[in-house]
């Protein structure tokens, strides 16, 4: 009995340095690279060198490595390493452009090992920049110092059924109303509030950070529709300003708005809020239980800006302690509403 010999797979063995100007991207490449990602790739090339050659066809068209090519242009490189795929048919090239990106998405992270590695790298200190791993500081903080749920928070229900909410659905949850909608859509506010403007606002806008590969390694959480890492600082400022203007337009004159943000995005939020609001009332600090890692100083806080909308008198249930109540600008107030402690932090500015 004879068996067919196992055929070895083809090997791309043609390696050469190619002028950047001679290479052209595949016009129908469906994989998109944000400006932020290109900057991260460029930073990686600066630190580690060009460790992953571009894959090209015999005519100089890029099959894999479009992001690396753009990063090379950002760095001003005139030549890049390439591997020419002479053995590919035109059909294989089209399929591989997709496969090279799609197959990488099928892997996941061992969170325990990843956290261990990042934790040890974060302890190196000195001139080592842990962001060279591709994880930015918020993502590293989320992995190394995950937020602990408050004891008085209800556990998430174990729901096996698929979600049924669609854009436009309005849910009545006791005395609360929850709209599945778009905060940049003026019509959404009318549907949610009717003819009663908001007395107070507590909002935690997206931080313009991608979810995939940063906050989570799997597909449990989808990307934000907007401000998920694709915006420049100017675009993010405009995005925040547009939302803030709608919040003001749908709030009572003199209402207080609590705006959560981390220290990395102070400029964008303040630039946007300066246009939208009439007065910065204060800055509250969420004093976390554990310090974060992955930055020069280990941050043990998050920030909540307190702005006033309009020029009317704002609600003040404190009145310098005349009611027996007190409030401080620093405390264990989580920055992600709606949570019981977050609601208590906003109590001085609402009739509820």
What gap in Å lies between CA 91 and CA 98, rounded to an integer? 11
- Which is more confidently placed, 210 or 53? 53
Report the Cα–Cα distance between both ends of the chain, in Å, rounded.
85
100-104, 122-126, 331-335 — most confident range: 100-104
Q: What pLDDT score was predicted for residue 320?
A: 45
Of 29-33, 88-92, 161-165, 305-309, which range is least confident? 161-165
pLDDT > 70 fraction of the chain, expressed in percent and rounded:
73
pLDDT digits (tens, 9 = 90+) for 62-81: 999 999 999 999 999 999 99
Q: What pLDDT score was predicted for residue 330?
A: 55
Average pLDDT for residues 265-293, to the nearest whole number?
88
pLDDT digits (tens, 9 = 90+) for 207-245: 666 655 444 445 555 666 665 557 888 998 999 999 999
- Beta bridge partners of residue 115, listed in sequence order: none
Of 224-228, 237-241, 273-277, 306-310, which range is least confident? 224-228
338: pLDDT confidence band, cut at 50, 70 and 90? Answer: very low
- Using the predicted structure, report yes or no on whether residue 23 has a pLDDT greater than 80: yes
Q: How many CB atoms lie within 10 A of CB 125?
A: 9
What gap in Å lies between CA 189 and CA 203, rounded to an integer? 14
Provide the CA 65 distance to its chain's centre, in angstroms: 24
Domains of the chain: 14-105 (3.90.1530.10), 140-151+198-349 (3.40.50)
- Which is more confidently placed, 8 or 104? 104
What gap in Å lies between CA 241 and CA 235, rounded to an integer? 10
- Using the predicted structure, report yes or no on whether residue 333 has a pLDDT greater than 60: no
pLDDT digits (tens, 9 = 90+) for 159-188: 667 777 888 999 998 888 999 999 999 999
Average pLDDT for residues 138-148, to the nearest whole number?
72
- Using the predicted structure, report yes or no on whether residue 323 has a pLDDT greater than 50: no
Which stretches within 25-126 are classed as H helix?
35-48, 66-75, 90-105, 111-122
With b meaning 16 or more CB within 10 Å and e meaning fewer, what string describes 214-233? bbbbeeeeeebebbbbbbee
- Which is more confidently placed, 207 or 147? 207
């Amino acid at each position: 009995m004879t068996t067919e010999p196992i055929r070895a797979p083809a090997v791309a063995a043609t390696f050469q340095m190619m002028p950047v100007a001679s290479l052209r991207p595949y016009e129908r490449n469906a994989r998109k690279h944000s400006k932020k990602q290109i900057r991260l790739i460029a930073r990686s090339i600066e630190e580690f060198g060009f460790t992953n050659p571009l894959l090209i066809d015999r005519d100089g068209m890029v099959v894999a490595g479009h992001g690396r090519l753009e990063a090379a242009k950002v760095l001003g490189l005139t030549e890049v390493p390439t591997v020419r795929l002479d053995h590919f048919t035109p059909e294989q090239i089209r399929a591989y452009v997709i496969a090279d990106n799609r197959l990488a998405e099928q892997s996941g992270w061992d969170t325990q090992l990843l956290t261990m590695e990042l934790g040890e790298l974060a302890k190196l200190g000195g001139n080592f920049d842990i962001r060279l791993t591709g994880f930015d500081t918020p993502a590293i903080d989320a992995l190394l110092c995950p937020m602990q749920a408050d004891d008085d928070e209800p556990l998430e229900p174990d729901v096996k059924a698929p979600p049924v909410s669609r854009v436009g659905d309005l849910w009545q949850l006791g005395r609360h109303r929850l709209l599945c909608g778009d905060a940049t859509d003026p019509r959404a506010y009318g549907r949610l509030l009717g003819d009663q403007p908001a007395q107070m606002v507590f909002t935690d806008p997206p931080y313009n950070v991608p979810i995939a590969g940063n906050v989570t390694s799997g597909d449990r959480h989808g990307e934000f529709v907007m401000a998920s890492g694709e915006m420049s600082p100017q675009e993010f400022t405009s995005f925040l300003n547009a939302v803030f203007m709608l919040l003001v337009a749908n709030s009572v004159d003199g209402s207080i708005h609590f705006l959560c943000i981390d220290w990395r995005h102070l400029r964008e939020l303040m630039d946007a809020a300066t246009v939208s609001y009439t007065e910065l009332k204060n800055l509250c600090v969420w004093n976390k239980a554990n310090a974060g890692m992955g930055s020069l100083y280990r941050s043990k806080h998050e920030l909540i800006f307190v702005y006033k909308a309009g020029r009317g008198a704002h609600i003040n249930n404190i009145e310098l302690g005349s009611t027996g109540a007190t409030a401080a600008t620093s405390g264990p107030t989580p920055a992600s509403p709606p949570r019981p402690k977050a609601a208590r932090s906003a109590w001085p500015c609402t009739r509820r």
